[in-house]
Amino acid sequence: MILALLVTTLGFATLIFVQEAASPPLVYGAYYAGTLFMLYLGVRLFLPHSDVLLLPIVTLLTGLGLVMIFRLTYNVEGAQKLALTQAVWILIGSGAMFLLVLFFRNYDRIFDYKYLLAIAAVFLIASTFTPLGYSVNGARLWVDLGPVNFQPSEFARIALVVFFAGYLAEKRDVMAATSRSFLGVQLPAIKYFGPVALVWAASLGLLVFEKDLGSSLLFFAVPLLMLYAATGRTAYVLLGGILFTLGSFVTFLLFEHVQLRVQSWLDPWRDPDGTGFQILQSIFNIADGGLLGTGLGAGFAQTIPEVETDFVFSAIASELGLLGATAVLLAFLAFTYRGTKIALLAEDDASKLLAYGLTAMFALQTLIIVGGVTKAIPLTGITLPFVSYGGSSVVGNFILTGLLLLVSERAGRREAEGLVYRDDPWGSP
């Protein structure tokens, strides 16, 4: 924890020194460090048996995000305050997480409201089609609520994971049972699959029409993974794969912006100053970093449009190099590892699926955006959890971490009280 704060402070110190930048008021830095430290202590106090590593990783990632956002925007007209705004969002996220920890220790009660949550999620996503919603860069993902604007999909997906976890835990046995087969593939009973498919389709459809490709991909893949985890049936994965191929093909044909994305992924050189500009600038910056990076402040990551949100990883790779970028990926992997471990240790199915779903969402989101900016897969605009600039994303991820901590607390307490004795969960099955 202290190490994570030190790294952040060092990063800021380097930046201020190097760029001769006016220091952001130190008092804000103190607020940030103080808040996260208090949050850490609070969580240790209220959830003494919860996972010890998650919060330090979150601190490290948000701190790194602050450093990068500050570095990328402090001298950009109209955006100098972005790092401060992000810090405020981190405070709000911490607050939300603390409240969660304080009042939702019996978190499994939320599974009783899973249908309500699912409907709320769909409405949240749909809210961008109301007059309050508006578009940024062609994607209609924003809702203007007077003083704050937010991206409802960031919260809707957590609600959906809760729904899927609760529903699948309840129905997983019947869904795993084979009722009929078609062309040798065993199909699940439509009856039980119905609600899942309905929520799934509703949220997906809405997202596709909002042109939010990144979230669509997440909304598609996370329930699929949860379904697989719950039932162990590869049939679902196969079915999902077929649906995915089909769906991708249809969206490719239907939507021009999808065609553009794929085209600029396959051949960005065709239009290097137009559609391929962003991804090429990203690649140039990543390559510019080399093994050790250019050093904080010495790169040209500001040439990438949207660098402080979706492309923040390119800036990290450019200025911290292969070593730094790999270290950051390792931090994300460590979070994924702890999340998976929490799921493995969780006692009941719903908790297991909840922890797993949240972890899978976190890991997939990282893979999708980092894969996108490194041109490993077509680019779909989503944020890098905790690091990218974005209030909804930060608060959403804090809530996600809070839920993981709650799940881990329960398993940890049982273990500590000696109620259960279990083998190493990582041992062979």
Which window, 3-11, 129-137, 325-333, 409-417, contacts another protein (CB under 8 A)?
325-333
Contact letters for another protein, residues 164-203 (x by CB under 8 A):
----------------------------------------
Q: Tell which one of 132, 246, 266, 376 touches another protein (CB under 8 A).
A: 376
> Closest by alpha carbon to 251, among 216, 284, 219?
216
Report how many residues bind another protein under the rule CB under 8 A: 60
- Asked if residue 278 lies in contact with residue 304, where contact means CB atoms within 8 angstroms, the answer is yes
Residue 386, number of CB atoms within 10 A of its CB: 27
Least distance from another protein to the Cβ atom of residue 42, Å: 29
Instruction: For residues 336 and 330, give the distance between their C-alpha atoms in angstroms, rounded to a whole number.
Output: 10
Eight-state DSSP code of residue 270: G
Which window, 73-81, 112-120, 140-148, 197-205, contacts another protein (CB under 8 A)?
73-81
Least distance from another protein to the Cβ atom of residue 302, Å: 6
Instruction: Tell me the H-state helices in 47-143.
Output: 54-73, 82-103, 114-126
Q: Tell which one of 333, 347, 413, 415 touches another protein (CB under 8 A).
A: 333
Q: In what order do the strands lie in the sheet with 148-150?
A: 133-136, 139-145, 148-150
Q: Tell which one of 102, 198, 326, 420 touches another protein (CB under 8 A).
A: 326
270: phi then psi, degrees, rounded to nearest 5: -65, -35
Which window, 48-56, 105-113, 177-185, 315-323, contacts another protein (CB under 8 A)?
315-323
Token duo for residue 409: 């607390």
The residue with tokens 């995000």 is: 65
> Closest by alpha carbon to 325, among 303, 358, 301?
301
Cα within 13 Å of Cα(13), Cβ side: 6
Q: Which residues pair with 145 in a beta bridge?
A: 148
Say whether residue 394 binds another protein (CB under 8 A).
no
Nearer to another protein, 211 or 352 (CB): 352
The SS3 of residue 139 is strand
Say whether residue 305 binds another protein (CB under 8 A).
no
Eight-state DSSP code of residue 156: H
Would you tell me which residues interact with another protein (CB under 8 A)? 14, 17-18, 20, 75-77, 225, 228-230, 232, 269, 272, 280, 283-291, 295-298, 300, 302-303, 317, 321-322, 325-326, 329-330, 332-333, 336-337, 340, 343-344, 349, 352, 356, 360, 363-364, 367, 370-371, 374-376, 425-426, 429
